[in-house]
Chains A and B, each alone.
Chain A
Amino acid sequence: MATVNPEIDHLLRRAGFGVSAADADIYRDMSHARAVDYLVDYEGRPDDVDERIGRPDHALVATKDLFAPDIDIDDARQRWIFRMIHTRRPLQEKMAMFWHNHFATAYTKLAVDSGERQAAKMLAHKPGTLRGPQGQIELFRQYAMGNFRDLLIHVAQDPAMLIWLDGKSNFKARPQENFGREIIELFTIGVDNYIESDVYAAARVFTGWNLRGSDDYRKDEYGDLNAYQEFVYNADQHDTGDKTFSFPIYSSGSRTIASRSESAGMQDGIDLITALAVHPETGRRLARKFWNFFISEIHSPDPAFVESVSAVYLQSRTEIRPVIRYILTSPWFTSSAMHFARYSWPAEYVVRSIREVGWQNFSIDRARSPLAAMGQQLYEPPNVGGWPIGASWFSTGTMLARTNFAATLATSQKPFLAASLVGESETPQDLVDAMLQRMTPAPLDSGPRQALMSYLAAAGSWTGTGEQLNTRAAGLARLLAGSAEYQLV
């Protein structure tokens, strides 16, 4: 039995990945406020999840030879899903996914540029064994609840981003507009709040924000895995002229970044990033994205929410943790009208279903291609705008991929499901109730509920044991995990 109560279940679907049986024990006696603090202030609990890969009682990973999640993208994908399933800090993983979508960077372009292993390393390297900067996802974990301005600076200097948006070749003779455009349009203030000339000025600001390889770096699949690329400020590639924007850069209201020497010119970028981070439209844009991520995709953002969250963001000097705590304790979040008012992202769906149906002897690798078919291959967002979220996740093809994953998972858990339901299957009604306690989909109307009962009735004379339980419990898990009701969180 994995439900706690409707409020905590709601919180754990949004700030985590659903309620596993172990979660139910942790959260059973917590108030909503206490549970929010427990999720938001996660530093007190160990980040030991990677060490538990390969341990009994955890989901499995499959790999060709050695499991190498720092340099192999498929292994990196498995590690991340493993973390989502088993972490003691679910909100940290949830926010890492939020930032991965916000600063959407895709593996394939990096691999074309630098080779597959270097590309995987730039996205997923966890420092410890190999030399080189942490991968982009580790940056997102580090800054999951950190300061947004600081995160923007790190993103602007992140090797994966420097390749993804071509900053590595942004030189003064002919500036490169890709990063300059997207940091304004997508990462901060958004469309309708800037003009084209801002993009051209931003491109000039970031001239010289390039990349350099370590001494042993070669663009070679078989090069030293310790080799790496890192950010470098190439002073002699920086455009030293002044740059004027349509919005204020400084608290004085000045819109111009004055001309600086080459050696001091890196400060141009810091000034622009700071201006973008504290721009009120950035607060509003993040607030709207947080609304969709935590509150609802069915109701459009409440303007009062947007203004309040934006105010918290600006008052806290672009710190994210107070913003998230504010949101999760706000009346918008706790309103029962917002329960099941989001469409689960494929990764959320996969992880929640694994946590609620079971993971015994289940290899996470089996979720990898289904996730791609559902439209969310991790580390491969479709473009810099991130995944099209909300209702856009759903089409016949992607819904079929979800239901077929439900079948794969249910098949793998057949004997375990049946064993765990012994004593709860005396009547078909008992079995349906037990599965609904375990999986907590959005409320079922009488039609779908009747369809589940008819499905069990079709088994013939009900024994609720043996092969009949094996077959029908798995079928029921497949029907529930594949239902429309279960896609909502």
Chain B
Amino acid sequence: MDISRRLFIRNGVATVSFGIAAPSFLTAIAEAQSVRTRNLVVVYLGGGNDALNTLVSYRDPAYYSRRPSIAVPAGQVLQVGSDSAGQALGLHPRLGGLLNIFNEGRLALVQRTGYANSSRSHFEATDIWGTANPQASTGSGWLGRYLDALPRPLDALAAWNTTAETPRALISGTSGVPAIPNASTYSFASPNRGAAAAQERAAAQIMASNPASGRPHLAFVNSTARGAIETLDRVALATSYTPTVAYPDGGFADALQTVAGAIVRGIGSRVFWLQTGGYDTHAGQGGGGGGDYASLMGTLGDGLSAFYVDIRNQGLAGDTTVIVFSEFGRRISENGSAGTDHGAAGLMMVLGGSVRGGIHGTAAALSPGHPTLENSSGDVRYETDFRSVYARLLDQWLGVNSVPILGGDFRAGAPAIF
């Protein structure tokens, strides 16, 4: 199988080099289907992650005075050293799996990511992280524009969304990204069997191929039906994967396991999108390093570390980069409900076998009046423009020019995550 694939690629290249008018698309598809493809796995923490409790400034007295009931005790944090400003930092105690990756030098923690005049609306802020444009919360997304920049025709599984709804980030001007919320039910059902069922599938495919000229909305729905029929068999291949480690229970870990299956089976997807929710912790976050927020951290850390170890066991960690982000951080002071309201700058995490790990950027000093704060010292002010992280991922990992995709040059000040 591998050999024939490589021959296919060589033939494609050879054809082009002889200058025959030609199937450059064959090359693209072959590349897309080759086993060694760099992957980007994007994890969105829905609701606004309380970054100050993910990566804790456990020697900052203001952290404890402003969060009397929800602070993570200094004795419980998983120490990761100090940032360049000398602030001692520790991961949440439920992120033990991520600590291992950090200690291997493969987890980058990018502090205080965001943008000026941070939106405190979930919806607007999520859209801004999707469009990569703080002035526009509508239109295509940064990953969608990356897909637009790839050679045509684009493989139907070039990107793989594990949620039912297409996030802003994946909205493309030219192609729909398949949404595969449950890979095990991603199959074609019929009221009949045998020949009648096969004839029905054929008819469905013809109906979905109708260009529907003059009715673009109908053409769009058809494209989703067609995309489903065309990707069924390859998705089934990914779900047949048996992982090398036991993943935890739950939807997030299930999705990570499916992504691992797609990577190991060489489906060819370059971008995967995952979401795990519950981060809108206005109330009852939990104290003493436990409670609801600790459960969120456990789901995140246990899932990601199972995924990372699995992929590493398969020898594919070096091909895989995971980024973790949320739409905003949260207010520094806890509210009266033992929770936190919507804030500003957050934490991005980047991990993978090719990632240059470590602590990037500096933590906010949490005593009121400090210049690292904003909004009457209620919130953390951003230091690293989130688009500079996107730029680094696009230029150095996905190998495309970030400037047209991001609508500007954001390379300056980007953390050295590769």
Contacts and interface: CB of A to CB of B under 8 A. Distances in A.
A41 B148 CA distance: 50
A407 B189 contact: yes
B192 interface: yes
Contacts of B239: none
Interface in B152-201: 161, 164-166, 176-182, 185-192, 195-196, 199-200
A451 B206 contact: yes
A395 B210 contact: no
A482 interface: yes
Interface stretch (A21-29, A47-55, A317-325, A380-388): A380-388
A383 B122 contact: yes
Contacts of B246: none
A373 B185 contact: yes
A166 interface: yes
Interface in A163-185: 165-166, 169-178, 181, 185
B218 interface: yes
A398 interface: yes
Given A166-B283, A178-B280, A400-B187, 9 more contacts: A169-B283, A176-B335, A199-B120, A395-B224, A396-B227, A398-B181, A447-B209, A451-B203, A455-B199
B361 interface: no
B46 interface: yes
Contact of B166 (A395, A404, A442, A479): A395
Interface stretch (A81-89, A125-133, A328-336, A408-416): A408-416
B78 interface: no
The winner among B191, B199, B209, B220 for most chain A CB atoms within 10 A is B191
A395 B165 contact: yes
Interface of B: 46-47, 120-124, 161, 164-166, 176-182, 185-192, 195-196, 199-200, 202-204, 206-210, 212, 215, 217-218, 220-222, 224-225, 227-228, 231, 277, 280, 282-283, 333-339, 341-342, 375
A341 B179 CA distance: 23
Given A173-B336, A343-B217, A471 B192 contact: yes
A177 B335 contact: yes
Contacts of B177: 395
16 contacts: A169-B336, A176-B341, A178-B283, A196-B120, A373-B181, A375-B164, A388-B165, A395-B178, A396-B225, A396-B228, A399-B221, A404-B185, A407-B189, A447-B210, A471-B191, A483-B207
Contact of B341 (A177, A191, A414, A451): A177
B133 to A, nearest CB: 16
A374 to B, nearest CB: 8
Contacts of A447: 206-207, 209-210
Contacts of B181: 373, 397-398
A475 B192 CA distance: 7
B331 to A, nearest CB: 8
Contact of B207 (A178, A298, A341, A484): A484
Contacts of B218: 442, 484-485, 488
B61 to A, nearest CB: 20
Nearest to B334: A174
A483 B212 CA distance: 12
Classify the secondary structure of A's interface with B: helix
Contact of B200 (A177, A391, A455): A455
A487 interface: yes
Q: Specify which of B121, B176, B178, B231 lies most central, judged by the most chain A CB atoms within 10 Å of its CB.
A: B121
A388 B130 CA distance: 15
Given A176-B341, A398-B179, A196 B207 contact: no
Residue from A399, A408, A455 with most neighbouring chain B CB atoms (10 Å):
A399
B283 A343 contact: no
Interface residues of A, number: 70
Contacts of A247: none
A454 B203 CA distance: 8
Contacts of A171: 336-337
Contacts of B196: 458-459, 471-472, 475
Interface in A389-438: 391-392, 394-401, 403-404, 407-408, 410-411, 414
A173 B69 CA distance: 14
A175 B212 CA distance: 54
B257 to A, nearest CB: 17
Nearest to B198: A458
A171 B335 CA distance: 9
A270 interface: no
Contacts of A459: 196
Contacts of A373: 164, 181-182, 185
A166 B339 CA distance: 10
Given A166-B337, A385-B123, A455 B228 contact: no
A448 interface: yes
A482 B200 CA distance: 11
A196 B120 CA distance: 8
Top 8 A-B residue pairs of the complex, sorted by shortest distance between their CB atoms? A395-B179, A174-B336, A169-B337, A484-B221, A407-B189, A397-B179, A396-B178, A451-B206
A394 B171 CA distance: 12
A482 B338 CA distance: 48
Contacts of A411: 191
Contacts of B185: 373, 401, 404
A57 interface: no
Contacts of B182: 373, 397
Contacts of B337: 166, 169-171, 174, 176
A397 B342 contact: no
B169 to A, nearest CB: 14
B283 A185 contact: no
Contacts of B336: 169-176
Contact of B335 (A175, A391, A403, A488): A175
A373 B375 CA distance: 41
Given A388-B165, A398-B179, A488 B191 contact: no
Contact of A400 (B186, B190, B217): B186
Nearest to A383: B122
Contacts of B212: 445, 484
A414 B196 CA distance: 14
User: Which of B121, B207, B215, B224 has most A Cβ within 10 Å?
Assistant: B207
Interface in A141-200: 165-166, 169-178, 181, 185, 191, 196, 199
A95 to B, nearest CB: 23
A414 B206 contact: no
Contacts of A174: 333-337
A96 to B, nearest CB: 23
B186 A397 contact: yes
Contacts of B191: 407, 410-411, 414, 471, 474-475, 477-478
Contacts of B333: 174
